[in-house]
Structure 1
């Protein structure tokens, strides 16, 4: 029989618990959950028995995702509203996350949307530049600070940051995205060097290419797909594999792309 989870939490407008009928392994918090990669990562960790906290600005959409995952995987899923451009919102959201218990895994997947109609550098507004930095890097800093004390206390934990090709190369017309992603990569390296000896695995995943909708890796005729977009469910497998790596062979950074993509 299903039982309703009842930990202390923020108001219902900010956090929605979903029913569960299993005993969870631990808690994974995924910041920046949309219909592609974030959802696929959440589904993968739920499938492996974790309690999942999914966070983004759109609580209504998150709740639909949580219902879907909970029905499929029979595990606890919490939808928590967060605005990664607002430090106060991040703190309040993680009060709810931490009220669930020990956060073993933090996955930071948030990124400020960018327009394909790239502006000239001289037309970029300072407010827009600052918001992109806040979402890509400053919020990641806040989120990591919230979960690291518990990880250090227990001598274990995993923090995974989602990067992109803009993490490695400045791109004309995309200074907002590139600067934020560069900073996120630096944060990942700093945390890895400080906390890896304490048992916390920190890694940066460079998703180099367009992430499409989930799909089979094979065409109906059995031939490999020629689509150059990346399957988010395949990428989610990489996040899981990094999390369960033996500490004698930890990944700090990995880049992934479609076999059909030129680079």
Structure 2
């Protein structure tokens, strides 16, 4: 009788929504989970940026897959999750979903157009609703999984000239709290991370180089350090889960 063969073990997998440039938080989260042998679904609106992030993961020996996704489009979000939760795939069903999509700009309150207000809300809050809802629908039958939402200073307080941004982020925070209370007892870990300070990434470096230089060493949030926190949240035992965590550089006043 021929010896039985053990089927190859499937890789764990993760979904990261809101991935843009390589020197950005979304891409850093992708790389962090790929380091742990996760197959990562890399989701964002710009295919060229996604492909560069995936190529970087592959160059480091990791596994990732680009899925062009507009987080404000219900069909796009459903397509992303259908692909990721394919039962016939070589990877396990995702155990972690990260929502990192967002947009920000300084706009005086009297100058915000209705279209701008709605657009910022759709990206920062409505997109989180669509992704969070689909994640809950898929993970709930499995009785496990981590859902992490990226927040900001605006999640807690509205600053002058950033009402449109604060509304979106405050709404996202409430989504995370409601989901956590509803789904925590069923085994889903829902967490919200308040990024309270500037992120040392491509966006801020390009927009405010003098500000970045003035902050000096470790004066801004390091993208890899934030990504490490996301990984540790996913690793938390269910007897001591974090629902909300705030991160800021040691020089940040608060």
Q: The TM-score by the shorter chain falls in which range?
A: 0.7 to 0.9
Over 3 Å counting, the alpha-carbon distance change for 1:257 and 1:51 in structure 2 is: same
1:1-263 superposed matches below 5 A: 25-34=11-20, 35=22, 36-72=24-60, 74-99=61-86, 100=89, 102-112=93-103, 114-116=104-106, 118-119=107-108, 121-213=109-201, 226-263=217-254
Assess if the C-alpha contact under 8 Å between 1:24 and 1:51 holds in 2.
Answer: no
Equivalent residue of 1:170, what SS?
Answer: coil
User: Per-residue deviation at 1:23?
Assistant: 5.8
**Separation in 2 of the partners of 1:188 and 1:159?**
9
Give the number of aligned pairs: 228
Following superposition, the deviation at residue 172 of structure 1 comes to 1.6
**Aligned CA distance change for structure 1 residues 262 and 59 (closer, same or farther; 3 Å):** same
Change (3 A) 1:58 1:251: same
Question: Could you list the runs of 5+ residues in structure 2 that have no partner in the other structure?
Answer: 1-7, 203-215
TM-score (ref. length: structure 2): 0.84
Shift, 1:111, TM fit: 0.2
Give, in angstroms, the shift of residue 143 of structure 1. Answer: 1.1
- Please report how far the alpha carbon of residue 91 of structure 1 lies from its aligned counterpart in structure 2 after TM superposition: 2.7
Bigger helix share: 2
Once the two structures are TM-superposed, the CA of residue 164 in structure 1 deviates from its matched residue by 0.4
Q: Distance in 1 between matches of 2:252 and 2:233?
A: 23
SS state at 2:95 partner = strand
Match in the other structure for 1:12: none
After TM superposition, the score normalised by the length of structure 1 is 0.81
The corresponding residue for 1:17 is none
Cα RMSD for the two superposed structures: 1.8
> What secondary structure is seen at the aligned counterpart in 2 of 1:103?
coil
- Whole-angstrom CA distance in 2 between matches of 1:228 and 1:24: 40
Instruction: Report how far residue 232 of structure 1 moved.
Output: 0.5
